[in-house]
Amino acid sequence: MTTPADFNAILAHWESTRPDAPAVSFGTSNWTWAELARRVRRNAAAQRAAGLAPGDRIAVLDLNHPSCLELTLACAQVGTANAVVNFRLAPPEIVYVINDAKARLLFVGPEFAGAVDKIRAQLPAVERVIHIGGANDEYEAWLAAQEPDTHIHAADAGDCFLQLYTSGTTGFPKGAMLTHRGMVAHSRSLADEQDMGPESRVQVAMPLFHVGGTSYSLLAISAGAHILMMRLPDPAAALAMLEAERITHTFYVPALMAAMNQVPGAAERDYSALKSLCYGASPMPLPVMRASLKLFPGIMQQVYGMTEQSGVVSTLGPSDHADPAVAHRLVSAGKPIQGVEIEIRDPIDGAPVATGQPGEIWVRSEQIMRGYWGKPEATAAAITADGWLRSGDGGHIDADGYVYVTDRIKDMIISGGENIYPAEIERVLAEHPSVADVAVIGVPDERWGEVPKAVVVAAPGAAVDVEQLLAYCREHVAAFKCPKTVDVVDALPRNPTGKVLKKDLRKPYWEGRERQVV
């Protein structure tokens, strides 16, 4: 098929060419391409009936559910954008994201209905909360009240229809505005890379608030594949689905794969239908890598990417995983995918560095976001005038063109596939009366790749109660962001300008290890 310009054209193509083929399955529910297209058109009609206009935002706070994809596709039709909220965030963070997006409609799953009731008064832009699923489902009636709307907003390729939030170095998340151009380019390149097509059966296990969930789903939709969605990434259930549903393609984070290797009987199942197992979004400990290669031989593909580039920018294919002569490449992020340029630049002056030399990873492609919603200064700091995205990741490229990601320029911690910025945690801990100074670093963890550690200086006359401090942190930020351990020191190491030397704090924990971000 001719590559369409947007997801309205993609959905229309599969509706017209494969109307009765399965498009999405979730639990006992199944929708063909014709049924999915009708539901999306009803969704578009319901958005317009609610008064939404091009440029407006909606928000979804839910575990995985097909309604989130329907809303995203309907946003593409209307000209609105779906801001998918990380359900792992603490209530103050959820309030911030919904208000930052200025979401007019909020769609909420049953697990979060009580939490939303408590914060409802803090969401002034939200005109209506619509419950999805459970005993109080309102979503199906919201759809059924409208006839399908066939009018399609004349979208520009650079229009945003999906807004995913990435943690910010200022301590607050930023909304990456993902566009038709970017997501179509990402889908086109990845579908070719993974040999995904209309006969593929794609398991979506990762959360839709993450590019590993929504971008992967849109990749499957672009390819005309059958999506089989899981509500949560449960390791035993995911393995059972691979076998029972003859899954051909899937994506996991290393923490999930570590748990899968511990599932009783995992090695006795039949995964012969699986053609491509992608993994990424956090470091893969080598013991987990070795076990996973035994469980899934010949099909594992590492992916490296970022929300700001709509998902994947480089891959390390199955052949590099299998060849012992290039075992050193297992700690690389592979090579750029089609349509993506990657260079290593000096993080200070932006000048290209020599092959093999360390620097900041810069990426240029059509996949790039439009910018950060409502944050022009942050956008200008991240995207150069000639279209390069400064990733904030440090690394190098070897003589064979393989990208190695060895550290974070911006001190970001990646734990179990989740991006954590120390500034978010430091902002909270610094407010505790027992703390005079604080720095948060990432330290190695065999399950999660790395986890946050807080290094604190006690306030004059105060004693730091570690358990009390951690409990305080959990009240204000998501549990996965909270430090797992706390060290109390007399003073933090600083340079002459007063900046904390986090490399000195991290060094004892990372000696003898090769850091990797994937």
What are the φ/ψ torsions at residue 190 (nearest 5 degrees)? Answer: -70, -35
Query: Which pair of tokens denotes residue 456?
Result: 């604190």
Distance CA 393, CA 375 (A): 21
Beta-carbon contacts of residue 48 (< 8 Å; ≥ 6 apart) = 78, 149
Look at strands 403-408 and 226-229 and give their pairing. Answer: unpaired
Beta-carbon contacts of residue 460 (< 8 Å; ≥ 6 apart) = 436
> C-alpha angle 106/142/6, rounded to 5°?
70
With CA atoms as reference, report the closest residue to 262 among 447, 516, 418, 415: 447
Distance CA 421, CA 485 (A): 16
Distance CA 306, CA 333 (A): 12
| The model's pTM | 0.86
Distance CA 440, CA 470 (A): 13
Domain ranges of the chain: 7-263+273-397, 415-510
CATH architecture for residues 7-263+273-397: 3-Layer(aba) Sandwich (3.40)
Q: Report CA-CA distances (Å) from 44 to 63, 253, 268.
A: 22, 33, 45
Distance CA 228, CA 273 (A): 14
Look at strands 57-61 and 103-108 and give their pairing. Answer: parallel
Residue type, 105: L
With CA atoms as reference, report the closest residue to 516 among 403, 436, 391: 403
Query: Which pair of tokens denotes residue 142?
Result: 């919201």
Domain 415-510 has CATH 1.10.10.10: no
Distance CA 56, CA 83 (A): 10
What are the φ/ψ torsions at residue 146 (nearest 5 degrees)? Answer: -120, 145
pLDDT in tens, the chain (518 residues): 567 889 999 999 999 999 999 999 999 999 999 999 999 999 999 999 999 999 999 999 999 999 999 999 999 999 999 999 999 888 998 999 999 999 999 999 999 999 999 999 999 999 999 999 999 999 999 999 999 999 999 889 999 999 999 865 456 789 999 999 999 999 999 998 999 999 999 999 999 999 999 999 999 999 999 999 999 999 999 999 999 999 999 999 988 999 999 999 999 999 999 999 999 987 787 778 889 999 999 999 999 999 999 999 999 999 999 888 888 888 899 999 999 999 999 988 999 999 999 899 999 999 999 999 999 999 999 999 999 999 988 889 999 999 998 767 767 788 888 878 787 798 889 889 999 889 999 999 988 989 999 999 999 999 999 999 999 999 999 999 999 999 999 999 986 556 788 888 988 998 877 554 43
